[in-house]
Structure 1
Amino acid sequence: MQLPVTTIFTEKLPADPETSNEIRQVYEAMFSYVTPKVPLHPKLVHASAEVAQLIGLSEQSISSDDFIAVFSGKKVLEGTKPFAMCYGGHQFGNWAGQLGDGRAINLFEVQNQGQNLMVQLKGAGKTPYSRRGDGLAVLRSSIREHLCSEAMYHLGVPTTRSLSVMETGEKVLRDILYNGNAAYEKGAVVCRVAPSFIRFGNFEIFAARQDVKNLKLLADFCIETYFPSITTTGKERYIAFFQEIATQTKELLIHWQRVGFVHGVMNTDNMSIHGITIDYGPYGWLEGYDPHWTPNTTDAQGKRYRFGNQPHIALWNLLQLANALYPLIEETQALERILEQFNTDFQSDFNAMMLNKLGITKRHKENENLIHQLLITLQETETDMTIFYRLLARISKNDSESEALQKIKPAFYQEAEIKDSVQETWYFWLSLYLNSLKQETVADAERKRSMDLVNPKYVLRNYMAQLAIEAAEKEDYSLVDELAELLKRPYDEQPEYEKWFAKRPDWARTKIGCSMLSCSS
């Protein structure tokens, strides 16, 4: 297999001199060399032809024995040395010390189509950073990550990509609900692709250890490699670096809120310096609109990572990164300005995004009130977020409130509740909305086209992923294939897939894997 392999990260940054694969604290190093665990009987579940081409492979190569061997961890590509990264992080608001790639192994980097990309296996075995884990992953979590990575990309949300998911032919012991009932599941490995997998935590670990030398080395490497537009020197260089990360993080969070995505584990070790979605664990899309919903069972009580709190957590995480970069800057004013501006810019960009979702082009105070009132009204009765915004585009500016309500009614889980005060609340908001539409010069058909470009018809609901997982566990990968195709065009009507434009079925409310999930993988 021929690939445009490069070694930028490992050439320019210090390696762990210890080569044994024992769990340990790693100091004054960015990474440790590790060999993936050889799987027993690797078998391809699904692969993305797009991502294959992105890293320099042909679509035809996906079915080859070489492809399966390399991207399952069975074979190390000649001339490469796989490695696992060292980093720390704050988990649920508390400093957790050294974390690192506990179940991820970077195979190599490629330089293709003008891009530097890192290729990584998740679930390929133990590393020095595995702590109490085995470094393995199971089929259910691997399918979820594979499908979601590609779904997010096609939604226009910055994300890591996924090349492939494969069964390993081995069993992995997992406690899916963390309730003491561990069971064996099918093992799997997923291949992820990103500009890099450097996180906020990569900087935090050096700052926590007061290793300013390696902190500076990493920051300089990131600026030169990934942010070449930064040409300033001295402390201004690191301030500009932080500004770039803050801006990209803000844009990422706007996208999450736009499509109703909830990450579920926004720890600082799960925040990318590239402003991309990374580490798909207990994620979910809002079904009924609820800003207090979290998909993570571990977060069920505190709801730290709930949908409505994601922008605040992003800011909190950026504060931790600012603290980590402080030794390179040694002043707080510039960092504080950037953090304050994040709040201001986020609110402005959020309002602009919401008006785009509503098909409103004019910015004024009344339309900001329209957004505020909508976010309250959506909670009057359980309302499917994705379906609501998609149906909203069907309203005409000359509709009455009752005609408009009829057009969005399929988004309500309990249509019988739309009466009395609930109906009056909806009529009130629809009157505001129709009044705003009447002030628009854009024709209804043109407005619908623009709204359909930002309001997806299809998202990867948890119950959809779970159905695909259950079929795959019986070695039927057809539903994985179907969902992968569907999610390539989430904004298109795709009438052949109309069955997926539907509210979550009642059976999925409490079924394991269809609502909240644990971090178990």
Structure 2
Amino acid sequence: MILNIKNKFTKELSADVIENDEPRQVVGACFSYVEPKKPSNPSIIHVSKDVAQSVGLTEKDLNSDEFLNVFSGKSVFKETKPYAMCYAGHQFGHWAGQLGDGRAINLFEIENNNVSLMLQLKGAGKTPYSRKGDGFAVLRSSIREHLCSEAMFHLGVPTTRSLALALSGDEVLRDVLYNGNAAYEKGAIVTRVAPSFIRFGNFEIFAAREDDKNLKSLVDYTIKYYYPEISLEGKEKYLAFFETVANKTLKMIVHWQRVGFVHGVMNTDNMSIHGLTIDYGPYGWLEDYNPNWTPNTTDNEHKRYRFGNQSKIAQWNLLQLANALFPLIEEAEPLEKILNDFPIQYEVEYLKMMHDKLGFFSENEKTKESIYLLTENLQLTETDMTIFFRDLSQVKQDDTIETALEKLKDAFYNVEEVKDITKDTWLYWFTQYLSIIKHQGVTDEDRKNAMNRVNPKYVLRNYMAQLAIDEADKGDYKLLNEMYEMLLKPYDEQPEYQKWYAKRPDWARHKVGCSALSCSS
């Protein structure tokens, strides 16, 4: 393999003076050098050729022993030195202190076609930040991360990518439900790819330790390489950086809401400074439209990270980033202004997104009222979010309100419940909707095409991922491959995959891995 290695992070930022993988508090350093643990019998079970091309890998490379060895952790690529990052974070709203890359090991940075990318193994062994963990990952969580990273990218959602999914050949002990019933599972490793894996928490740890020197070095480094358009100096430079990160974060959250994605664990150590979706743990897509749904069993009581709360949590996390950057700015007011503007701008962007989903080509009080009423209606009875918005594009201007409602019947889990007041409420909404689309001067076909560009037909529902996991656990990867191919074109009709355009089956409603998930991996 020939790769254009450009290890900026380790060359320009401070390293841990100790070089071993023993868990410890790491002070005065951005990272620690650490090598992956050699797997006993690794094998590659899936590769994203799209990501491979972006990295600069050829078809021949993908079939080589070197590719298998490097991206399973069996060997270290020539003239590189793997490392784990040091960072802190707020978890579920509480300060957690030092966290760091507990089961992630950064291999190297490359440059290809003037794009800089960092490649990282997840699940390749212990680091100084593993605390009581072993640094490994299991097949089920690795499949979910590999598939979801690529699904999100092709949905148009800002995200980290996944190059490869490998089995380690070793078994890993995990307690899936944290109920004392630990069992051995197949170990696996995912190769993650992003411009960098710098998080809000990378800045938080230095601010908490009053290490202004390393804080400034890291922020200056981040701006230099990832936000070179910021040409200001002093406090203004750091304010511009914060505002840019806030804007990128806002756009990411709007995309989540557009496709019905719930991250599930929006801790500050899981927030990328690039505005990318990062760390796919207990995530999920809305089945029925339920703003209070969270896919995380740990979050089930308080529902902090529920679908309808994601923008507020993003703002709260940005507050923690603002606190971390404060030593470089020393003025609260301009930071507060950016934070206070966040929900205002979010509402603007959210409404624009909803107008697109509904096929509204202009914004006015009537369209806004229709949007807010719709989000209430969707909760009257269990209604599949993905199917509702996709099938809504089938409604035509000259439909009656009854015909329009009939076209949406497949979105209702129990269509018999759409009666009496519930039905009247829906018919009232369709009266509004038909009035709007009749008077905007756009053909049914143009509106349908526009809607189908933002409303996916296929998303990675939890039960679908679980089916692929169950088969892969038996050594059968056909379903994994099928899911991957389907998710490359989520907005296309793809009649060969029509069976996956369906509501969650009843058997999956409460099945482990199909409804809520734990953080165990």
Q: TM-score, normalised by structure 2?
A: 1.00
Match of 1:267 in 2: 267
Higher mean alpha-carbon deviation, 427-436 vs 375-384, is at 427-436
Q: How does 1:466-485 map to 2 (within 5 A)?
A: 466-485=466-485
The DSSP-based 3-state class of the residue aligned with 2:315 is: helix
Unaligned runs of 5+ in 2: none
Match of 1:183 in 2: 183
Shift of the alpha carbon at 1:298? 0.0
Separation in 2 of the partners of 1:78 and 1:94?
Answer: 41
Shift of the alpha carbon at 1:61? 2.0
The DSSP-based 3-state class of the residue aligned with 1:202 is: helix
Question: CA-to-partner distance for each residue in 1:297-352, whole Å, 9 max, x for gaps?
Answer: 00000000000000000000000000000000000111111111111110001001
Match of 1:395 in 2: 395
Match of 1:194 in 2: 194
Higher mean alpha-carbon deviation, 31-40 vs 429-438, is at 429-438
Match of 2:207 in 1: 207
The DSSP-based 3-state class of the residue aligned with 1:4 is: coil
Counterpart residue identity of residue 394, structure 2:
R
Counterpart residue identity of residue 307, structure 1:
F
Percentage identity across paired residues of the two chains: 63
Match of 1:305 in 2: 305
Match of 2:334 in 1: 334
Q: Which runs of 4+ in 1 moved over 6 A?
A: none
Separation in 1 of the partners of 2:2 and 2:460?
Answer: 34
Shift of the alpha carbon at 1:60? 3.2
Shift of the alpha carbon at 1:439? 1.4
The DSSP-based 3-state class of the residue aligned with 1:29 is: coil
Match of 2:55 in 1: 55
Question: CA-to-partner distance for each residue in 1:377-434, whole Å, 9 max, x for gaps?
Answer: 0000100000000000000011111000010110000011111111111111111111
Separation in 2 of the partners of 1:35 and 1:194?
Answer: 20
Higher mean alpha-carbon deviation, 137-146 vs 54-63, is at 54-63
Match of 1:461 in 2: 461
Match of 1:18 in 2: 18
Unaligned runs of 5+ in 1: none
Q: How does 1:367-382 map to 2 (within 5 A)?
A: 367-382=367-382
Match of 1:284 in 2: 284
Counterpart residue identity of residue 505, structure 1:
P
Match of 2:404 in 1: 404
Shift of the alpha carbon at 1:59? 2.7
Counterpart residue identity of residue 208, structure 1:
A
Shift of the alpha carbon at 1:116? 0.8
Match of 1:489 in 2: 489
Match of 1:503 in 2: 503
Separation in 1 of the partners of 2:348 and 2:244?
Answer: 18
Counterpart residue identity of residue 53, structure 2:
Q
Separation in 2 of the partners of 1:21 and 1:265?
Answer: 26
The DSSP-based 3-state class of the residue aligned with 1:25 is: coil
Question: CA-to-partner distance for each residue in 1:179-198, whole Å, 9 max, x for gaps?
Answer: 11100000000000000000
Higher mean alpha-carbon deviation, 88-97 vs 360-369, is at 360-369
The DSSP-based 3-state class of the residue aligned with 2:408 is: helix
Question: CA-to-partner distance for each residue in 1:124-147, whole Å, 9 max, x for gaps?
Answer: 000000001000000000000000
Counterpart residue identity of residue 437, structure 2:
L
Match of 2:125 in 1: 125
Separation in 2 of the partners of 1:383 and 1:61?
Answer: 46
Question: CA-to-partner distance for each residue in 1:459-505, whole Å, 9 max, x for gaps?
Answer: 00000000000000011011111011000000000001100100000
Counterpart residue identity of residue 324, structure 1:
A
The DSSP-based 3-state class of the residue aligned with 1:6 is: coil
1:248 equivalent to 2:244? Answer no
Separation in 2 of the partners of 1:261 and 1:329?
Answer: 34
Question: CA-to-partner distance for each residue in 1:444-469, whole Å, 9 max, x for gaps?
Answer: 01100000000000000000000000
Counterpart residue identity of residue 95, structure 1:
W
Q: How does 1:7-46 map to 2 (within 5 A)?
A: 7-46=7-46
The DSSP-based 3-state class of the residue aligned with 1:510 is: coil
Separation in 2 of the partners of 1:87 and 1:143?
Answer: 26
Counterpart residue identity of residue 140, structure 2:
R
Shift of the alpha carbon at 1:259? 0.2
Separation in 2 of the partners of 1:482 and 1:62?
Answer: 20
Match of 1:219 in 2: 219
Separation in 2 of the partners of 1:438 and 1:39?
Answer: 62
Higher mean alpha-carbon deviation, 77-86 vs 432-441, is at 432-441
Match of 1:149 in 2: 149
Match of 2:420 in 1: 420
Counterpart residue identity of residue 240, structure 2:
A
Counterpart residue identity of residue 157, structure 2:
V
Match of 1:237 in 2: 237
Higher mean alpha-carbon deviation, 1-10 vs 88-97, is at 1-10
Counterpart residue identity of residue 338, structure 1:
I
Q: TM-score, normalised by structure 1?
A: 1.00
Separation in 1 of the partners of 2:10 and 2:439?
Answer: 58
1:346 equivalent to 2:314? Answer no
Separation in 1 of the partners of 2:45 and 2:414?
Answer: 38
